Structure 1
Amino acid sequence: MNNYHKGIIEIIERNIGKTKEIIPVGHHELGRHFVYRIEDSKNKQYILKIYGKENRWCKEVNALELLNGVILCPEVINKGILENGVEWILQEKISGVILEEIWDHLSNNNKIYIIEEIGEILGSIHSSYKYDYYGYCEKLEYRVDDKKGFISYRKSKDKKIINNILKQELPHKEFLKKTYSAMIKYYRYLNTNEYSCLCHHDFSARNIMVNRKENMWKVTGVIDFEHSYPNDPYIDFTDLYQTIFIDEKPLEYYFLRGYTKYMKLDRNHIEKVRYYLLNKGLFICSWTYDSIRDYYNEGMRLLKWLI
C-alpha cells in the first residue's frame, strides 16, 4: 500500500474500506491514465480509473449514467477530483475477460453469436438518445449545431491529417495522397443524418467483456466510455471493420443483423462507413511511422484493403 499515491488510498478507504488486493491494470507505461482493479474483503471487485488527460471524466461519467439500464455497462460507484485537479471515477468491475484476448480461440458459431450481440448493443446505444448537435458541450473539444458545420469540421480535421502526411518523408506518400483524394469525394454523403447519436468512439473487442456460459462465450458488458459524445453513428463501425471484418468479412452480416434490430441503416451507410475507414487509416499513417511502426503498418493495411 505504501507504493500507492496518497489520493488513491484515500479514495479507496473512503469508498470501499478494507481491501484484499489492489492491482494495476491497463497501460500505465503510456502515462495517460492509471487504472486499478480492487477487491474488497467480501470479494467484490471494482475498477478505479485516475485520468491523466482532461475532459475524459465528464464524458465517461455522462455516458455511463445515460446508458445504465440501456446496455450492460459498469455502474458508477463514485467520482471526484483530487486536490491537484486530477479526475477519478470508481466503478463496478464487469465480470469476464476482454473479448480481444479470446477472439482467435472462438468457434465460428460463437463468433457469429457474439458479433450479433455486439450489433444489438451498438444499436441500443445509438438508438437511446438523439441530439441536434455534434460534439461535447463541456470543456469543448468541438461542438457544431448543424450539418454544414459538421462537414466543415470534418474537412478541417482532414486537412490537418494530409498536411501532416505531406510534411514527412513517408515511403507511401503518393499512395496516401491518392487515398486522401478518394476520401474527400465522400463528403457529399455526410449530410443525410437527421440527428446525431451518443457514440462510443472506441467500440472494439478490446472494450467488450465476455464470460463463458453453457459452453458459449457471451457478452457481459462494454467498458471505456471516456471518448463518448454525440456524433455520426457510423463512426462507431470503424474499429470493428479494422480489427475484425477486414479478415472475417462474412461476420459483417451478423453484426448488421443485430444492429438493425434497433437502428435503421441510412441509405448512404456504406459510403459513410467507407469515409470513416479511409479517415481512420490516413490518421493512423499521419503520425505513427517514426514512433509506432507496427501501427503505421496497420493503417496501411486498412487503406490497401479499401483502395
Structure 2
Amino acid sequence: MIRTAVLGAGRIGQVHASAVAASRLAQLVVVVDPFEEAAKSLAERIGCEAATDPLEVIARDDIDAVIIGTPTDTHVHLMLKAVEAGKAVLCEKPVDLDIAKVDEALRQLEDKDVPVMLAFNRRFDPSAAAMRQAIDAGEIGDVHQVVITSRDPGMPPEGYVQASGGIFRDMTIHDFDMARWLLGEEPTEVLATASRLVSPDLVEKYDDYDTVMVVMRTASGKQCHINNSRKAVYGYDQRMEVFGSNGMLLNDNLRPSTLRRYNQDQTEVHDPLLNFFLERYDDAFRAELEAFFGAVGSGKPVPVTPYDGRQALHLANCALESVRTGKVVKV
C-alpha cells in the first residue's frame, strides 16, 4: 500500500482524498490544509489524520506519495520539496502560471529519479481513453481533425476568476492537453479569438474572457478546433470529435441515464447533462489515481508528465498572444 498525503482540503483536494481512500493500491494517511477546520472536517469524514503544515508532512517517514491540490502558486515549491524528500508526486494543473518558473522546475526535476505526474484527469475518462485506443488501433486511419467543445454551466466565483490566470490557462488548458494527446503531434500554429459575452464587467475587470475559440495546426497539417464558454444554460457540455482518413470517432456528453421520453408534445426528451466536472469526470479522477499509483508501485513511467503541463501552458500563452495581436502565433 502506497502511504499517501493529500495537500489541500478544498474542492479538488476532497475529490482526491475520497479517491485515495477508495483505492486498493494506496492508504490515505493524512490530509493537509493551512485552515485547520477544513483539514479536520475532511479527515473526519474520510477517516485519516489532519495536519496544517505541508512541509512537515512531506518530511514524514510514513509518507510515500504526495498529491498536490493546493493553490497554483504553491505547486512548484511543494513539488520540488516532495521530490527532494524522495516522495512520488501527483500535482494538479497547471504547474505554475509563469512558464519561466515551470521551465526552471522541469530543469530541477531532470536528474531526479522520483515519479512526478501531472493531473490532466480527462485523459483517464473511460470514453476518452477508448477514443485514444481506437486511434492507436488505426480504426479511423490517419487523424486529420480534432474538434473539442468544453462549456461550463456557469461563471465561477469572482475570487476564482481573479486568481485563475485567465480562461486559457485554467479552462482551455485541459483542451490543449487533449488536443496534443489526440492529434499525436505538437501544434505549431495557434489562432485564437476571445469575447466577453457572459459576464462582461467581471471578466473585463481581470482582463479575462468568457467565450473563446482556438484553431491549431501541426507541422504535418493536422487541425484542431477548440471552443469554450463559461456558461451553457443546459449543463456541462463536454464533447470531442476525431475525424480521420477512414472514419470518425465521437465522444458525446454523459447524462444520469439513457432514458428517452416520447409523448404527444415532445420526442427524444433526455435527462439534463451531468451538472459539473465533479460528476462528469468522477470515473476519470479515480482512474487517474490508479494510473499514478500503478506507475509508482511498478516503477514504470507516469503517463502524464510535468512537460505535458508545460506544453499545455505554452499553448495557452500562445492563444492569449493571438487574441491580443489578432495574428497567428508560431508555437
What TM-score results when the alignment is normalised by the length of structure 1?
A: 0.27
**Structure (1/2) with the larger strand percentage:** 2
What TM-score results when the alignment is normalised by the length of structure 2?
A: 0.25
**Structure (1/2) with the larger helix percentage:** 1
